[in-house]
Amino acid sequence: MGLLLLNGFALAAFAFGRLAVRLVRRAPAWAYAAAPPLAVIATGWALGWLMWALVRGGPGRAAVVAVRPDRRRHLVDLPGPHPPPPPLTPLPALSAPLPRLCPVTVSAETGRGGGRLLYGCMGLGGSWEPGPYGPRDVDAAEEAVHAALDIGITVFDHADIYRHGKAEAVFGEVLARTPGLRDRVTLQTKCGIRLPGREGGPGMYDLRGPTIVRRVEESLERLRTDVIDVLLLHRPDPLADPDEIAGALMSLHGRGLVRAFGVSNTGAPQIARLQARLDVPLVANQLEMSLHSRAWVESGVLLNTPEGAGHGFAPGTLEHCLDHGIRLQAWGALAQGRFTGRQRTPAERATATLLEELARKKGTTPESVLLWWLTRHPAGIAPVIGTARPDRIRACRDAALKAPDLTHEEWYELWTTARGVPLP
Ligand SMILES: NC(=O)c1ccc[n+]([C@@H]2O[C@H](COP(=O)([O-])OP(=O)(O)OC[C@H]3O[C@@H](n4cnc5c(N)ncnc54)[C@H](OP(=O)(O)O)[C@@H]3O)[C@@H](O)[C@H]2O)c1
């Protein structure tokens, strides 16, 4: 259709050009020859410009849209220049100071407050079966909690799923039995994992907004407290919407139910994405870190080696947490006893022997030396110890109360012995 129109216009221009030259009687011969093609070129140029204007916008576009609104969708919407980014809004002040996650000073009067460790409550509450707990489970929890307090630990780590909620429930009973205890401790719990079989569904991660809010309300009830000091998102949920997560967390904060937030098993890019949507700073990231689970330190030195290929630890996570004041917490810090009674491999046996030698030399326990290996690292790692046995908790006393006593050489000797193979 457009081509036909163009041809019509060209013929008309050609005829007009010849007519114009005939009218000017005494036109030279060259003008008679040149006028028609010049008229065609001029008409073509004018038509071309008109079509360009119609397609690309401007007055032509407005005219088309006005005359044929149905053609609007055929017009190309070209992106204009990028608008300037909105100004950064400063973070609002928190209504209460952030919870202290493992202060590193010891009070001269009480000897307390010096805990460099957290106590992990996953072992409290009896069996992993969903049934009820009994009075003996509460007594055992009370003994463990008091052993932890005795070595200066004041931060207690929970999760809604530990023993199907029974770990939080027995801890709540211990709080109820011990006047004033709630004010002396920092309570941390987690949500985001659904165990298989719960509500008849499969095991999965669930960080949908309403789920987060419901799980926190349930934890508050079990822990018999008004406020959770720190809530960690247990594991990233690939289906979750970060805006929805942030909305749920800010609503919990606004209602005064949670004082601060953190993450667990989460890498730097995911932390940054969530933080960008929150009005409060994330305060902690809990990861598996120990002399047995060494990816956190080895991912930084095995770069460019075959051994380092496929390392699961997100590179840069340690540094990101350090730079943003996010406290690193090490779960599995005692390596589930692999170096202090449950050793199975030659490397574990050799490490256990070395830990005993070092402990003898320094007048402490192998457990404390094992934890010093973590706290000696400059990332400021706070180990979470998970044994429920009071004697094993007390064996960690020096790690809780004293600065790590390991030389550069001793630290490397422990590392390479546990690896069982030399460093690259
Ligand atoms: N964020 C997460 O994804 C995540 C995952 C797991 C755990 N956590 C947290 O981290 C805490 C610690 O984790 P964890 O329990 O796996 O690690 P852990 O402290 O390294 O290990 C403690 C576990 O090992 C057992 N064990 C056996 N022999 C032992 C020995 N000689 N010395 C010490 N422990 C021995 C303990 O049993 P006994 O009680 O009989 O001593 C207990 O079950 C948990 O309580 C929980 O709060 C977090």
Same domain for 50 and 163? no
What burial class does residue 214 get, using C-beta atoms within 10 Å of its C-beta: 0-12 exposed, 13-18 middle, 19+ buried?
A: middle
Q: Ligand 1 centroid vs 17 CA: distance in angstroms?
A: 97
**Average pLDDT, stretch 149-153?**
95
Is residue 94 situated within a structural domain?
no
What's the pLDDT score for residue 237?
98
- Which pLDDT tens digit goes with each residue over 82-97? 444 444 444 444 445 5
Same domain for 342 and 248? yes
Same domain for 134 and 30? no
Q: Ligand 1 centroid vs 156 CA: distance in angstroms?
A: 13
Which pLDDT band holds residue 8 (cuts at 50, 70, 90)?
low
**Average pLDDT, stretch 53-75?**
41
| Residue finishing a domain among 41, 57, 72 | 72
Q: Is the pLDDT of residue 125 over 90?
A: yes
What's the pLDDT score for residue 20?
57
Q: How many CA atoms lie within 13 A of 29 on its CB side?
A: 0
What's the pLDDT score for residue 304?
81
Residue 253, classed as helix, strand or coil, is helix
DSSP string for residues in 267-328? -HHHHHHHHTT-SS-EEEEEEE-SSSS-HHHHTTT-TTSGGGTT--SPTTHHHHHHHTTPEE
Is residue 88 situated within a structural domain?
no
Cα–Cα distance for residue pair 298/308, rounded to 1 Å: 8
Q: Of the ranges 55-64, 88-97, 109-118, 252-261, which is most confident?
A: 252-261
Is residue 243 situated within a structural domain?
yes
Same domain for 273 and 193? yes
Residue nearest to atom 42 of ligand 1 (CA): 387
Phi, then psi, of 263 in degrees rounded to 5: -130, 175
Would you say the CB of residue 331 lies under 6 angstroms from ligand 1? yes
Which atom of ligand 1 approaches the CA of 158 most closely? 47
Which pLDDT band holds residue 384 (cuts at 50, 70, 90)?
very high
| Residue finishing a domain among 44, 72, 100 | 72
Between 217 and 97, the more confident residue is 217
Same domain for 390 and 320? yes
Which pLDDT band holds residue 70 (cuts at 50, 70, 90)?
very low
For the ranges 4-8, 15-19, 111-115, 206-210, the lowest mean pLDDT is seen at: 111-115
Q: Is the pLDDT of residue 112 over 50?
A: no
Which atom of ligand 1 approaches the CA of 159 most closely? 47
What's the pLDDT score for residue 106?
40
Cα–Cα distance for residue pair 285/232, rounded to 1 Å: 8
Would you say the CB of residue 339 lies under 6 angstroms from ligand 1? no
Would you say the CB of residue 262 lies under 6 angstroms from ligand 1? no
Cα–Cα distance for residue pair 60/330, rounded to 1 Å: 66
294: nearest Cα among 348, 237, 341, 350? 348
Q: Ligand 1 centroid vs 387 CA: distance in angstroms?
A: 5
What's the pLDDT score for residue 306?
82
What's the pLDDT score for residue 113?
44
* Structural domain span for residue 66: 2-72
Q: Which residues lie across from 327 on neighbouring strands? A: 284
282 Cβ partners below 8 Å, 6+ apart?
261, 262, 263, 271, 274, 275, 324, 326
Q: Domain containing 385 — which CATH number?
A: 3.20.20.100
Between 52 and 105, the more confident residue is 52
| Residue finishing a domain among 72, 100, 127 | 72
CB-CB contact of 116 with 151 (8 Å) = no
309: nearest Cα among 320, 295, 289? 295
Same domain for 138 and 36? no
Same domain for 127 and 40? no
Q: Ligand 1 centroid vs 403 CA: distance in angstroms?
A: 22
Q: Ligand 1 centroid vs 336 CA: distance in angstroms?
A: 5
267: nearest Cα among 233, 230, 292? 233
Same domain for 26 and 127? no
What's the pLDDT score for residue 69?
39
Q: Which two tokens stand for residue 263?
A: 């993450």
119, 133, 162, 412: the catalytic one is 162
Q: Is the pLDDT of residue 417 over 70?
A: yes
Is residue 101 situated within a structural domain?
no
Residue nearest to atom 35 of ligand 1 (CA): 337
What's the pLDDT score for residue 309?
76
Radius of gyration from C-alpha coordinates of the chain = 35
What's the pLDDT score for residue 58?
42
- Which pLDDT tens digit goes with each residue over 15-52? 665 655 565 555 566 666 766 666 666 666 656 555 55
Cα–Cα distance for residue pair 161/325, rounded to 1 Å: 27
- Which pLDDT tens digit goes with each residue over 261-295? 999 999 999 999 999 999 999 999 999 999 999 99
Is residue 245 situated within a structural domain?
yes
Same domain for 26 and 159? no
Same domain for 289 and 202? yes
For the ranges 10-14, 62-66, 277-281, 340-344, the lowest mean pLDDT is seen at: 62-66
Give me the number of domains the chain comprises: 2
**Average pLDDT, stretch 237-252?**
97
Residue 162 annotated to the active site = yes
Is residue 80 situated within a structural domain?
no
DSSP string for residues in 320-342? HHHHTTPEEEEETTTGGGTTTT-
What's the pLDDT score for residue 314?
86
Is residue 93 situated within a structural domain?
no
Same domain for 68 and 157? no
- Which pLDDT tens digit goes with each residue over 305-346? 888 877 778 889 999 999 999 999 999 999 999 999 999 999
CB-CB contact of 133 with 170 (8 Å) = yes
Is residue 144 situated within a structural domain?
yes
Cα–Cα distance for residue pair 223/166, rounded to 1 Å: 10
Q: Is the pLDDT of residue 243 over 70?
A: yes
Testing ligand 1's pocket by substitution, the residue of 195, 293, 336 carrying the most ligand atoms inside 8 A of its CB is: 336
Same domain for 46 and 144? no
